A and B are shown apart, each in its own frame.
Chain A
Amino acid sequence: MSDVVFEIKDLYAFYDEHAALQSINLKIREKRITAIMGPSGCGKSTLLRCLNRLNDLIPGFSLKGQILFRGQDIYQIKDLTEYRRRVTMVFQKPNPFPMSIFDNVAYGLRIHGITKKSILKDKVEQALRMAALWDEVKDKLKKPAVQLSGGQQQRLCIARALAVEPEVLLLDEPTSALDPIATTKIERLLEELAQQYTVVIVTHSMGQALRISDEVVFLYEGRLIEYGETSTIAKTPKHEVTKQFLTGKIG
Protein backbone atom coordinates (compact mmCIF):
# COMPACT_ATOMS: atom_id res chain seq x y z
CA MET A 1 0.00 0.00 0.00
CA SER A 2 2.92 2.32 -0.51
CA ASP A 3 1.12 4.21 -3.21
CA VAL A 4 -1.09 5.94 -0.63
CA VAL A 5 0.07 9.54 -0.19
CA PHE A 6 -2.66 10.83 2.09
CA GLU A 7 -4.73 8.79 4.43
CA ILE A 8 -7.53 10.71 6.09
CA LYS A 9 -9.02 9.06 9.16
CA ASP A 10 -12.32 10.08 10.68
CA LEU A 11 -11.74 13.76 10.05
CA TYR A 12 -13.99 16.47 11.51
CA ALA A 13 -13.38 20.15 10.84
CA PHE A 14 -15.06 23.03 12.64
CA TYR A 15 -15.33 26.77 12.11
CA ASP A 16 -16.26 27.84 15.62
CA GLU A 17 -19.30 25.62 16.32
CA HIS A 18 -20.14 24.85 12.71
CA ALA A 19 -18.95 21.46 11.48
CA ALA A 20 -17.67 21.91 7.92
CA LEU A 21 -16.50 18.33 7.56
CA GLN A 22 -17.83 15.25 9.30
CA SER A 23 -16.37 11.80 9.56
CA ILE A 24 -14.26 11.83 6.41
CA ASN A 25 -12.32 8.65 5.62
CA LEU A 26 -10.30 8.73 2.45
CA LYS A 27 -7.10 7.59 0.76
CA ILE A 28 -5.38 9.62 -1.93
CA ARG A 29 -3.06 7.70 -4.23
CA GLU A 30 0.26 8.60 -5.73
CA LYS A 31 0.61 10.03 -9.24
CA ARG A 32 -3.07 10.22 -9.91
CA ILE A 33 -5.48 13.08 -10.26
CA THR A 34 -8.02 13.03 -7.48
CA ALA A 35 -10.94 15.40 -7.92
CA ILE A 36 -12.89 16.60 -4.91
CA MET A 37 -16.41 17.46 -5.98
CA GLY A 38 -19.64 18.74 -4.56
CA PRO A 39 -21.90 21.77 -4.46
CA SER A 40 -20.79 25.07 -2.94
CA GLY A 41 -20.38 24.96 0.80
CA CYS A 42 -20.02 21.18 0.97
CA GLY A 43 -16.58 21.47 2.54
CA LYS A 44 -14.42 20.60 -0.45
CA SER A 45 -12.14 23.61 -0.13
CA THR A 46 -11.89 23.06 3.61
CA LEU A 47 -10.73 19.51 2.99
CA LEU A 48 -8.12 20.60 0.46
CA ARG A 49 -6.84 23.40 2.67
CA CYS A 50 -6.43 20.96 5.56
CA LEU A 51 -3.91 19.07 3.44
CA ASN A 52 -1.62 22.13 3.39
CA ARG A 53 -2.63 23.10 6.95
CA LEU A 54 -3.71 26.45 5.61
CA ASN A 55 -6.78 26.51 7.83
CA ASP A 56 -4.48 27.03 10.80
CA LEU A 57 -4.58 30.71 9.83
CA ILE A 58 -8.33 31.03 10.29
CA PRO A 59 -9.43 32.10 13.77
CA GLY A 60 -11.93 29.68 15.26
CA PHE A 61 -10.88 26.71 13.15
CA SER A 62 -10.42 23.36 14.82
CA LEU A 63 -10.00 19.79 13.72
CA LYS A 64 -10.56 16.26 14.99
CA GLY A 65 -9.26 13.05 13.51
CA GLN A 66 -6.08 12.42 11.55
CA ILE A 67 -4.49 13.23 8.23
CA LEU A 68 -1.52 11.01 7.50
CA PHE A 69 0.97 12.06 4.86
CA ARG A 70 3.05 9.00 4.01
CA GLY A 71 2.21 7.63 7.42
CA GLN A 72 2.97 10.80 9.38
CA ASP A 73 0.23 12.78 11.12
CA ILE A 74 0.54 16.24 9.56
CA TYR A 75 -1.12 17.99 12.48
CA GLN A 76 1.76 16.81 14.67
CA ILE A 77 4.37 18.49 12.47
CA LYS A 78 6.12 21.36 14.24
CA ASP A 79 8.13 22.83 11.37
CA LEU A 80 5.74 23.31 8.49
CA THR A 81 8.28 24.87 6.14
CA GLU A 82 9.59 21.56 4.83
CA TYR A 83 6.15 19.96 4.78
CA ARG A 84 4.72 22.81 2.73
CA ARG A 85 7.56 22.43 0.28
CA ARG A 86 6.45 18.84 -0.32
CA VAL A 87 2.76 19.73 -0.57
CA THR A 88 2.12 23.01 -2.40
CA MET A 89 -1.05 24.75 -3.34
CA VAL A 90 -2.64 26.73 -6.19
CA PHE A 91 -5.61 28.94 -5.44
CA GLN A 92 -8.92 29.73 -7.03
CA LYS A 93 -7.99 33.30 -7.86
CA PRO A 94 -4.56 33.68 -9.46
CA ASN A 95 -2.41 35.33 -6.81
CA PRO A 96 0.87 36.42 -8.37
CA PHE A 97 3.14 38.23 -5.92
CA PRO A 98 3.81 41.93 -6.59
CA MET A 99 7.23 41.26 -8.11
CA SER A 100 8.72 40.13 -11.39
CA ILE A 101 7.83 36.90 -13.15
CA PHE A 102 11.24 35.47 -12.33
CA ASP A 103 11.06 36.44 -8.67
CA ASN A 104 7.59 34.94 -8.37
CA VAL A 105 8.83 31.53 -9.40
CA ALA A 106 12.06 31.92 -7.43
CA TYR A 107 10.24 32.99 -4.28
CA GLY A 108 9.65 29.49 -2.91
CA LEU A 109 13.20 28.45 -3.76
CA ARG A 110 14.60 31.42 -1.88
CA ILE A 111 12.47 30.61 1.16
CA HIS A 112 13.97 27.17 1.17
CA GLY A 113 17.48 28.55 1.14
CA ILE A 114 18.46 28.38 -2.51
CA THR A 115 20.15 31.66 -3.39
CA LYS A 116 22.78 30.74 -5.98
CA LYS A 117 21.92 32.63 -9.17
CA SER A 118 22.75 29.89 -11.66
CA ILE A 119 20.72 27.28 -9.79
CA LEU A 120 17.78 29.67 -9.42
CA LYS A 121 17.86 30.40 -13.12
CA ASP A 122 17.81 26.73 -14.07
CA LYS A 123 15.05 25.85 -11.65
CA VAL A 124 12.88 28.80 -12.65
CA GLU A 125 13.20 27.88 -16.31
CA GLN A 126 12.43 24.25 -15.56
CA ALA A 127 9.34 25.18 -13.55
CA LEU A 128 8.08 27.57 -16.21
CA ARG A 129 8.56 24.90 -18.86
CA MET A 130 6.64 22.39 -16.80
CA ALA A 131 3.82 24.89 -16.43
CA ALA A 132 3.87 25.40 -20.22
CA LEU A 133 4.54 29.09 -19.78
CA TRP A 134 8.23 29.36 -20.67
CA ASP A 135 7.79 30.23 -24.34
CA GLU A 136 5.33 32.99 -23.54
CA VAL A 137 7.41 34.72 -20.87
CA LYS A 138 11.05 33.88 -21.56
CA ASP A 139 11.73 37.36 -22.95
CA LYS A 140 10.06 39.25 -20.15
CA LEU A 141 11.10 37.52 -16.96
CA LYS A 142 11.88 40.88 -15.38
CA LYS A 143 8.41 42.28 -16.03
CA PRO A 144 5.89 42.49 -13.18
CA ALA A 145 3.84 39.33 -12.98
CA VAL A 146 0.57 41.23 -12.64
CA GLN A 147 0.85 42.26 -16.30
CA LEU A 148 0.18 38.70 -17.45
CA SER A 149 -3.30 37.58 -18.48
CA GLY A 150 -5.45 35.64 -16.03
CA GLY A 151 -4.65 32.27 -17.55
CA GLN A 152 -0.94 33.04 -17.68
CA GLN A 153 -1.04 34.22 -14.08
CA GLN A 154 -2.59 30.94 -13.02
CA ARG A 155 0.06 28.95 -14.88
CA LEU A 156 2.66 31.17 -13.23
CA CYS A 157 1.17 30.21 -9.87
CA ILE A 158 1.42 26.56 -10.88
CA ALA A 159 5.05 27.12 -11.89
CA ARG A 160 5.68 28.78 -8.55
CA ALA A 161 4.20 25.80 -6.75
CA LEU A 162 6.23 23.35 -8.87
CA ALA A 163 9.55 25.18 -8.54
CA VAL A 164 10.16 23.83 -5.06
CA GLU A 165 9.87 20.28 -6.43
CA PRO A 166 6.92 19.13 -4.36
CA GLU A 167 5.39 15.67 -4.26
CA VAL A 168 1.79 16.80 -4.16
CA LEU A 169 0.09 19.66 -5.96
CA LEU A 170 -3.17 20.88 -4.45
CA LEU A 171 -5.44 23.02 -6.62
CA ASP A 172 -8.52 24.84 -5.38
CA GLU A 173 -10.85 25.39 -8.35
CA PRO A 174 -7.89 26.62 -10.41
CA THR A 175 -9.95 27.31 -13.52
CA SER A 176 -13.11 28.84 -12.12
CA ALA A 177 -11.85 32.36 -12.79
CA LEU A 178 -10.62 31.57 -16.31
CA ASP A 179 -12.10 31.42 -19.79
CA PRO A 180 -12.57 28.07 -21.64
CA ILE A 181 -9.34 28.29 -23.64
CA ALA A 182 -7.19 28.99 -20.60
CA THR A 183 -9.09 26.24 -18.78
CA THR A 184 -8.28 23.69 -21.48
CA LYS A 185 -4.60 24.63 -21.32
CA ILE A 186 -4.51 24.09 -17.59
CA GLU A 187 -6.38 20.78 -17.83
CA ARG A 188 -3.86 19.50 -20.43
CA LEU A 189 -1.09 20.63 -18.15
CA LEU A 190 -2.50 18.81 -15.13
CA GLU A 191 -2.77 15.58 -17.07
CA GLU A 192 0.89 15.83 -17.92
CA LEU A 193 1.88 16.74 -14.40
CA ALA A 194 0.08 13.69 -13.03
CA GLN A 195 2.81 11.52 -14.54
CA GLN A 196 5.23 12.96 -12.01
CA TYR A 197 3.09 14.38 -9.25
CA THR A 198 0.13 13.55 -7.13
CA VAL A 199 -2.56 16.05 -8.03
CA VAL A 200 -5.58 16.86 -5.87
CA ILE A 201 -8.03 19.26 -7.46
CA VAL A 202 -11.19 20.80 -6.09
CA THR A 203 -13.74 21.50 -8.77
CA HIS A 204 -17.43 22.14 -8.97
CA SER A 205 -17.49 21.31 -12.66
CA MET A 206 -18.67 17.78 -13.32
CA GLY A 207 -17.28 18.00 -16.84
CA GLN A 208 -13.84 18.89 -15.61
CA ALA A 209 -13.80 16.05 -13.10
CA LEU A 210 -14.82 13.55 -15.79
CA ARG A 211 -12.26 14.89 -18.25
CA ILE A 212 -9.17 14.84 -16.12
CA SER A 213 -9.51 12.90 -12.90
CA ASP A 214 -8.61 9.28 -12.20
CA GLU A 215 -10.44 9.23 -8.92
CA VAL A 216 -13.26 11.31 -7.66
CA VAL A 217 -14.48 12.18 -4.19
CA PHE A 218 -18.02 13.42 -3.67
CA LEU A 219 -18.81 15.58 -0.70
CA TYR A 220 -22.26 16.73 0.30
CA GLU A 221 -23.02 18.88 3.32
CA GLY A 222 -19.68 18.09 4.88
CA ARG A 223 -19.95 14.34 4.47
CA LEU A 224 -18.24 12.03 2.05
CA ILE A 225 -20.91 10.25 0.10
CA GLU A 226 -18.95 8.38 -2.51
CA TYR A 227 -15.44 7.91 -3.78
CA GLY A 228 -13.58 5.72 -6.21
CA GLU A 229 -12.46 5.45 -9.83
CA THR A 230 -13.94 8.25 -11.90
CA SER A 231 -14.96 5.94 -14.74
CA THR A 232 -16.74 3.54 -12.40
CA ILE A 233 -18.64 6.25 -10.59
CA ALA A 234 -19.59 7.94 -13.83
CA LYS A 235 -21.16 4.72 -15.10
CA THR A 236 -22.64 3.31 -11.95
CA PRO A 237 -23.11 5.88 -9.24
CA LYS A 238 -24.24 4.20 -6.05
CA HIS A 239 -25.61 7.16 -4.24
CA GLU A 240 -28.71 9.17 -5.06
CA VAL A 241 -26.94 12.55 -4.65
CA THR A 242 -24.12 11.47 -6.96
CA LYS A 243 -26.65 10.49 -9.59
CA GLN A 244 -28.32 13.86 -9.37
CA PHE A 245 -24.96 15.54 -9.63
CA LEU A 246 -23.98 13.50 -12.68
CA THR A 247 -27.19 14.28 -14.47
CA GLY A 248 -26.87 17.94 -13.62
CA LYS A 249 -29.81 18.15 -11.25
CA ILE A 250 -27.61 19.72 -8.59
CA GLY A 251 -24.29 21.45 -8.77
Chain B
Amino acid sequence: MLIGSLMLMGLVFAISVPVGLIGTIFLSELAPRRISMFLQSLAGTMNSVPSIVYGVFGLAFFSVKLGFGTSLLSASLALSTMSIPFFMNSAVEFLRAVPKELREGVISLGANKLQATLMVLRASKNGILTSLMLTLGRAFSETAPILVTGAVFYSTKLPGKLTDPVMTLPTSIYAIVMNLGERSQWMAKAMASLMVLIMIAVYSLVQITRRNKRE
Protein backbone atom coordinates (compact mmCIF):
# COMPACT_ATOMS: atom_id res chain seq x y z
CA MET B 1 0.00 0.00 0.00
CA LEU B 2 2.77 2.38 0.91
CA ILE B 3 4.53 1.62 -2.35
CA GLY B 4 1.25 2.00 -4.19
CA SER B 5 0.84 5.41 -2.60
CA LEU B 6 4.38 6.37 -3.56
CA MET B 7 3.94 5.22 -7.15
CA LEU B 8 0.79 7.28 -7.37
CA MET B 9 2.64 10.25 -5.91
CA GLY B 10 5.40 9.85 -8.45
CA LEU B 11 2.92 10.00 -11.29
CA VAL B 12 1.03 12.93 -9.83
CA PHE B 13 4.36 14.68 -9.42
CA ALA B 14 5.35 13.99 -13.02
CA ILE B 15 2.03 15.29 -14.32
CA SER B 16 1.28 18.24 -12.10
CA VAL B 17 4.73 19.82 -11.70
CA PRO B 18 5.35 20.63 -15.36
CA VAL B 19 1.75 21.59 -16.04
CA GLY B 20 1.41 23.51 -12.79
CA LEU B 21 4.69 25.37 -13.23
CA ILE B 22 3.95 26.36 -16.80
CA GLY B 23 0.48 27.44 -15.72
CA THR B 24 1.89 29.48 -12.86
CA ILE B 25 4.44 31.23 -15.05
CA PHE B 26 1.76 31.96 -17.61
CA LEU B 27 -0.49 33.35 -14.89
CA SER B 28 2.02 35.66 -13.27
CA GLU B 29 4.40 36.60 -16.08
CA LEU B 30 2.87 36.22 -19.49
CA ALA B 31 -0.89 36.49 -19.47
CA PRO B 32 -2.57 39.87 -19.90
CA ARG B 33 -4.10 41.18 -16.68
CA ARG B 34 -7.69 40.17 -17.46
CA ILE B 35 -6.98 36.61 -18.52
CA SER B 36 -4.71 36.13 -15.55
CA MET B 37 -7.41 37.34 -13.15
CA PHE B 38 -9.98 35.07 -14.74
CA LEU B 39 -7.71 32.03 -14.58
CA GLN B 40 -6.79 32.71 -11.02
CA SER B 41 -10.37 32.92 -9.86
CA LEU B 42 -11.02 29.72 -11.80
CA ALA B 43 -8.18 28.00 -9.96
CA GLY B 44 -9.55 29.37 -6.71
CA THR B 45 -12.97 27.93 -7.44
CA MET B 46 -11.53 24.56 -8.41
CA ASN B 47 -9.71 24.59 -5.12
CA SER B 48 -12.86 24.76 -3.09
CA VAL B 49 -14.61 21.97 -4.95
CA PRO B 50 -15.00 18.93 -2.65
CA SER B 51 -12.53 16.24 -3.56
CA ILE B 52 -15.15 13.57 -4.21
CA VAL B 53 -16.28 15.66 -7.17
CA TYR B 54 -12.84 15.17 -8.67
CA GLY B 55 -13.26 11.47 -8.06
CA VAL B 56 -16.55 11.33 -9.90
CA PHE B 57 -15.14 13.51 -12.67
CA GLY B 58 -12.14 11.20 -12.93
CA LEU B 59 -14.40 8.17 -13.03
CA ALA B 60 -16.60 9.65 -15.74
CA PHE B 61 -13.85 11.21 -17.82
CA PHE B 62 -10.62 9.24 -17.44
CA SER B 63 -11.93 5.82 -16.45
CA VAL B 64 -15.01 5.61 -18.64
CA LYS B 65 -14.82 8.17 -21.43
CA LEU B 66 -11.11 7.72 -22.16
CA GLY B 67 -11.27 4.06 -21.27
CA PHE B 68 -8.44 3.96 -18.74
CA GLY B 69 -10.58 1.90 -16.37
CA THR B 70 -9.93 1.54 -12.68
CA SER B 71 -6.22 2.11 -12.82
CA LEU B 72 -3.13 3.85 -11.57
CA LEU B 73 -3.33 6.13 -14.59
CA SER B 74 -6.92 7.23 -14.00
CA ALA B 75 -6.20 7.78 -10.33
CA SER B 76 -3.13 9.91 -10.94
CA LEU B 77 -4.90 11.97 -13.58
CA ALA B 78 -7.86 12.57 -11.25
CA LEU B 79 -5.52 13.53 -8.43
CA SER B 80 -3.55 15.83 -10.73
CA THR B 81 -6.73 17.57 -11.83
CA MET B 82 -7.17 18.44 -8.18
CA SER B 83 -3.51 19.19 -7.41
CA ILE B 84 -2.71 21.50 -10.30
CA PRO B 85 -5.02 24.37 -9.31
CA PHE B 86 -3.99 23.89 -5.69
CA PHE B 87 -0.33 24.22 -6.65
CA MET B 88 -0.93 27.16 -8.99
CA ASN B 89 -2.91 29.05 -6.41
CA SER B 90 -0.14 28.95 -3.87
CA ALA B 91 2.86 29.19 -6.22
CA VAL B 92 1.54 32.22 -8.05
CA GLU B 93 1.59 34.17 -4.80
CA PHE B 94 5.29 33.48 -4.40
CA LEU B 95 6.02 34.61 -7.94
CA ARG B 96 3.98 37.75 -7.46
CA ALA B 97 5.84 38.47 -4.23
CA VAL B 98 9.10 38.91 -6.14
CA PRO B 99 9.75 42.67 -6.03
CA LYS B 100 9.24 44.43 -9.33
CA GLU B 101 12.67 46.04 -8.92
CA LEU B 102 14.20 42.63 -9.56
CA ARG B 103 12.35 42.15 -12.85
CA GLU B 104 13.16 45.70 -13.88
CA GLY B 105 16.80 45.25 -12.92
CA VAL B 106 17.10 42.26 -15.21
CA ILE B 107 15.22 43.94 -18.06
CA SER B 108 17.20 47.18 -17.72
CA LEU B 109 20.41 45.27 -18.44
CA GLY B 110 19.01 44.14 -21.76
CA ALA B 111 17.64 40.74 -20.79
CA ASN B 112 14.70 39.25 -22.64
CA LYS B 113 11.46 37.98 -21.17
CA LEU B 114 12.71 34.42 -20.73
CA GLN B 115 15.82 35.52 -18.84
CA ALA B 116 13.71 37.75 -16.63
CA THR B 117 11.32 34.88 -15.90
CA LEU B 118 14.20 32.59 -15.00
CA MET B 119 15.43 35.22 -12.55
CA VAL B 120 11.99 35.49 -10.98
CA LEU B 121 11.84 31.70 -10.62
CA ARG B 122 15.28 31.70 -9.05
CA ALA B 123 14.20 34.35 -6.56
CA SER B 124 11.07 32.41 -5.61
CA LYS B 125 12.44 28.91 -5.73
CA ASN B 126 12.03 28.24 -2.02
CA GLY B 127 8.44 29.37 -2.19
CA ILE B 128 7.77 27.16 -5.16
CA LEU B 129 9.33 24.23 -3.35
CA THR B 130 7.08 24.91 -0.39
CA SER B 131 3.97 24.94 -2.58
CA LEU B 132 5.11 21.75 -4.19
CA MET B 133 5.43 19.91 -0.90
CA LEU B 134 2.09 21.18 0.34
CA THR B 135 0.52 19.99 -2.90
CA LEU B 136 2.10 16.56 -2.67
CA GLY B 137 1.13 16.30 1.00
CA ARG B 138 -2.44 17.07 0.14
CA ALA B 139 -2.48 14.65 -2.80
CA PHE B 140 -0.96 11.93 -0.67
CA SER B 141 -3.63 12.09 1.98
CA GLU B 142 -6.55 12.58 -0.36
CA THR B 143 -8.86 9.59 -0.52
CA ALA B 144 -11.94 10.45 -2.46
CA PRO B 145 -10.57 11.06 -5.95
CA ILE B 146 -8.73 7.75 -6.09
CA LEU B 147 -11.39 5.76 -4.29
CA VAL B 148 -13.52 5.61 -7.39
CA THR B 149 -10.92 5.83 -10.11
CA GLY B 150 -7.97 3.69 -9.31
CA ALA B 151 -7.98 2.02 -5.96
CA VAL B 152 -8.73 -1.54 -5.10
CA PHE B 153 -9.14 -2.57 -1.52
CA TYR B 154 -7.03 -5.62 -1.69
CA SER B 155 -4.38 -6.62 -4.12
CA THR B 156 -1.50 -9.03 -3.68
CA LYS B 157 0.67 -7.51 -6.33
CA LEU B 158 1.93 -4.08 -7.15
CA PRO B 159 0.64 -2.45 -10.30
CA GLY B 160 3.01 -3.50 -13.10
CA LYS B 161 1.67 -1.14 -15.72
CA LEU B 162 -0.24 2.11 -15.83
CA THR B 163 -3.57 0.44 -16.40
CA ASP B 164 -3.39 -1.78 -13.30
CA PRO B 165 -5.35 -0.76 -10.23
CA VAL B 166 -3.44 0.27 -7.13
CA MET B 167 -3.76 0.08 -3.35
CA THR B 168 -2.96 3.22 -1.41
CA LEU B 169 -2.76 3.98 2.27
CA PRO B 170 -5.79 6.22 2.66
CA THR B 171 -8.09 4.04 0.54
CA SER B 172 -7.03 0.92 2.45
CA ILE B 173 -7.82 2.57 5.74
CA TYR B 174 -11.20 3.49 4.39
CA ALA B 175 -11.80 -0.07 3.16
CA ILE B 176 -10.87 -1.65 6.45
CA VAL B 177 -12.99 0.68 8.50
CA MET B 178 -15.99 0.22 6.26
CA ASN B 179 -15.88 -3.45 5.41
CA LEU B 180 -14.13 -5.45 8.11
CA GLY B 181 -15.24 -6.16 11.63
CA GLU B 182 -14.18 -4.80 15.02
CA ARG B 183 -11.29 -7.23 15.21
CA SER B 184 -9.50 -5.73 12.24
CA GLN B 185 -9.58 -2.16 13.49
CA TRP B 186 -5.97 -2.42 14.69
CA MET B 187 -4.89 -2.59 11.07
CA ALA B 188 -6.66 0.62 10.25
CA LYS B 189 -5.18 2.26 13.32
CA ALA B 190 -1.67 1.19 12.41
CA MET B 191 -2.02 2.45 8.90
CA ALA B 192 -3.52 5.69 10.06
CA SER B 193 -0.55 6.21 12.40
CA LEU B 194 1.83 5.56 9.53
CA MET B 195 0.02 8.13 7.43
CA VAL B 196 0.13 10.69 10.18
CA LEU B 197 3.86 10.10 10.52
CA ILE B 198 4.41 10.55 6.83
CA MET B 199 2.35 13.72 6.79
CA ILE B 200 4.33 15.09 9.73
CA ALA B 201 7.53 14.35 7.84
CA VAL B 202 6.31 16.10 4.72
CA TYR B 203 5.12 19.21 6.52
CA SER B 204 8.32 19.36 8.60
CA LEU B 205 10.24 19.43 5.36
CA VAL B 206 8.10 22.35 4.28
CA GLN B 207 8.92 24.16 7.50
CA ILE B 208 12.62 23.50 7.07
CA THR B 209 12.70 24.90 3.53
CA ARG B 210 10.82 27.95 4.76
CA ARG B 211 13.33 28.50 7.53
CA ASN B 212 16.20 28.24 5.05
CA LYS B 213 14.55 30.87 2.94
CA ARG B 214 14.49 33.31 5.78
CA GLU B 215 18.18 32.93 6.44
Considering the complex of A and B, which 9 residue pairs feature the smallest CB-CB distances, nearest first?
A84-B110, A95-B101, A89-B108, A81-B110, A108-B109, A95-B105, A98-B123, A85-B110, A111-B111
Q: How far is the CA of A204 from the CA of B106 in the complex (A)?
A: 25
Interface size for B (C-beta < 8 A) is: 18
Q: How far is the CA of A59 from the CA of B103 in the complex (A)?
A: 15
Q: 28 A–B contact pairs at CB < 8 A?
A: A54-B104, A54-B107, A57-B103, A57-B107, A59-B33, A81-B110, A81-B111, A83-B110, A84-B107, A84-B109, A85-B109, A85-B110, A89-B104, A89-B105, A92-B101, A95-B99, A95-B101, A95-B102, A95-B105, A97-B102, A98-B122, A98-B123, A99-B122, A107-B106, A108-B109, A108-B110, A160-B109, A161-B108
Q: How far is the CA of A157 from the CA of B104 in the complex (A)?
A: 12
- Measured as residues with beta carbon below 8 angstroms from the partner, the interface class of chain A is 20 to 34
Q: Indicate if B179 sits at the interface (CB-CB under 8 A).
A: no
Q: Are A88 and B122 closer than 8 Å at their CB atoms? A: no
Q: Are A80 and B104 closer than 8 Å at their CB atoms? A: no
User: Which label, helix, strand, loop or mixed, suits the secondary structure of the B interface?
Assistant: helix
Q: Indicate if B119 sits at the interface (CB-CB under 8 A).
A: yes
Q: Indicate if B48 sits at the interface (CB-CB under 8 A).
A: no
Q: Mark A79-105, 1 if CB is under 8 A from B, else 0.
A: 011111100110111010111000000
Q: Indicate if A211 sits at the interface (CB-CB under 8 A).
A: no
Q: Indicate if B112 sits at the interface (CB-CB under 8 A).
A: yes
Within 8 A of B (CB), among A67-84: 80-84
Q: Which residues of B contact A97 (CB under 8 A)?
A: 102, 105-106, 119, 122-123
Chain B residues with CB under 8 Å of chain A are: 33, 99, 101-112, 115, 119, 122-123
- Closest chain-A Cβ to B127's Cβ sits at a distance in Å of 12
Kindly report which residue of chain B lies nearest to residue A109, judged by CB atoms: B109
Q: Indicate if A46 sits at the interface (CB-CB under 8 A).
A: no
- Closest chain-B Cβ to A49's Cβ sits at a distance in Å of 8
- Closest chain-B Cβ to A54's Cβ sits at a distance in Å of 6
- Closest chain-B Cβ to A86's Cβ sits at a distance in Å of 9
Q: How far is the CA of A111 from the CA of B106 in the complex (A)?
A: 10
- Closest chain-A Cβ to B193's Cβ sits at a distance in Å of 40
Q: Which residues of A contact B106 (CB under 8 A)?
A: 97, 107
